[in-house]
Structure 1
Amino acid sequence: MCIVYAIDSDWGWYYFGCSTCNKKVFKVGTNVRTLNGQEITSHIWWCEVCKENVSFVSPRFKLHLVVKDDTGEARLMLLDMVASGLISESATELLNGSFDELEDPDELPEAITQIFGKTFTF
């Protein structure tokens, strides 16, 4: 059992994962096309596992927690499946559909900061 007392935001709190294999993807481009007079933007991502460009991705948690107990402190990295059990909202909800990088990675959503001071068993 340990208490979460900080989140290392140097690494960011989310990543985009391939909807097919769930592994991290990298943004390689953006397509803008006009359909019925409206511009539609789609993003192109590269998946190293699938070895192809993909367009169906979703944000997933990647939290770097700093925790402590009676014996000391440790840093834990929680990926989406585990982090989803601790955070009240999904990464998709917190990003509100945005595929842009956050301007200030130190600014964490309230749903994430709510775990500060709480005790968990890992």
Structure 2
Amino acid sequence: MNQLSLSSTYSTKVYINLDHQQDYIHWDSEEVAKNKRTIREIIKFLVQSKSQEALFYCMAVVKKVNAENGWHYVSCTDCHKKAKTIGSKIWCEGCKKEFSSPTRRYRLELHVKDESGSTIFVVFDKEAERIVRIPTTQVYTTEIKDEDDEEDVVPKPIKILLGKTYMFQIKINPNNIFTTKQNFTAIHVFEDHEYKQLQHEQEEKNQILPLK
């Protein structure tokens, strides 16, 4: 049986190359191998764990995009947390500020599955935008407005995720442990071919590598 272990530090760092406008990642293949888990093993960790934090990697396929809770949220332009829409104004309770125009960010609830089971991975904002490849505002403007504001419908650009395999970097925190709703936040998502390419190049070079 695999021995579950905690990761106290993040093994993935993202850098920006301003000259080429590309994302770069320092990929620690040993850390990934050490903390790679199946969905069943991640859930088992939650059952056995107390107030602890961990970072795991999980390869899974997207079976469904849950839209019951929407696929985006209106956020504060300062803290990026969810804001309330009051009439024509946007109010952030945390910052105690009012905004006139909404900032929309992705919040995708992905129903994922591997050989051991299934669960929900939640992907936010820029990480979701990277795999959808279209900004949130553009999807909202071109898709939702054409469908009479049916925000519980999954827009076509987001449906491209269905059936695809990704490597999810999952962050476990006390919120996962003490909640009855089973879902996990994915702080990074890599397409299957991206992960395999990075893994191969890391073995050869062991240096900073481009995502694209």
Q: How far 1:102 moved relative to its partner?
A: 2.9
| Map of 1:103 onto structure 2 | 150
Q: How far 1:98 moved relative to its partner?
A: 9.6
Q: Does residue 2 of the first structure (1) align with residue 60 of the second (2)?
A: yes
C-alpha distance in structure 1 between counterparts of 2:159 and 2:142, whole Å = 20
User: Looking at CA atoms only, which structure, 1 or 2, has the larger radius of gyration?
Assistant: 2
Q: How far 1:64 moved relative to its partner?
A: 0.6
Q: How many residues align?
A: 108
For the Cα contact (< 8 Å) 2:110–2:121, is it kept in 1?
yes
Give the 3-state SS of the residue equivalent to 1:84 in structure 2: helix
Q: Residue 98 and residue 119 in structure 1: after superposition, are their counterparts in 2 closer, same or farther (change >3 A)?
A: closer
| Map of 2:90 onto structure 1 | 45
Q: Unaligned 5+ residue runs, structure 2?
A: 1-58, 169-212
Q: Would you tell me which structure has more helix in proportion to its own residues? A: 2
Q: Residue 121 and residue 99 in structure 1: after superposition, are their counterparts in 2 closer, same or farther (change >3 A)?
A: closer
For the Cα contact (< 8 Å) 1:18–1:56, is it kept in 2?
no
Q: Give the TM-score, by structure 2 length.
A: 0.47
C-alpha distance in structure 1 between counterparts of 2:129 and 2:66, whole Å = 18
Could you tell which deviates more after superposition, 66-75 or 78-87? 78-87
Give the 3-state SS of the residue equivalent to 2:126 in structure 1: helix
> Residue type matched to 2:74 in 1?
F
Q: Give the TM-score, by structure 1 length.
A: 0.79
Q: Which has the higher contact order (CA 8 A, sep 6+)?
A: 1
C-alpha distance in structure 1 between counterparts of 2:83 and 2:121, whole Å = 22
Q: How far 1:49 moved relative to its partner?
A: 1.3
Structure 1 segment 35-114 matched on structure 2, within 5 A: 44-96=89-141, 102-103=149-150, 105=152, 107-114=153-160
For the Cα contact (< 8 Å) 2:61–2:112, is it kept in 1?
yes
Give the 3-state SS of the residue equivalent to 1:89 in structure 2: coil
C-alpha distance in structure 2 between counterparts of 1:46 and 1:57, whole Å = 10
**Identity %, equivalent residues:** 31
Q: How far 1:47 moved relative to its partner?
A: 0.2
| Map of 1:23 onto structure 2 | 81
Give the 3-state SS of the residue equivalent to 1:62 in structure 2: strand
Q: Residue 90 and residue 66 in structure 1: after superposition, are their counterparts in 2 closer, same or farther (change >3 A)?
A: same
Q: Unaligned 5+ residue runs, structure 1?
A: 31-43
Could you tell which deviates more after superposition, 83-92 or 52-61? 52-61
TM-align CA RMSD: 2.2
C-alpha distance in structure 2 between counterparts of 1:25 and 1:86, whole Å = 24
For the Cα contact (< 8 Å) 2:71–2:108, is it kept in 1?
yes
**Runs of 4 or more consecutive aligned structure 1 residues displaced over 2 Å after TM superposition:** 97-104
Q: Residue 104 and residue 19 in structure 1: after superposition, are their counterparts in 2 closer, same or farther (change >3 A)?
A: closer
Q: How far 1:111 moved relative to its partner?
A: 0.9
> Which residue, out of 167, 172, 176, partners 1:121?
167
For the Cα contact (< 8 Å) 2:70–2:151, is it kept in 1?
no
Q: Would you tell me which structure has more strand in proportion to its own residues? A: 1
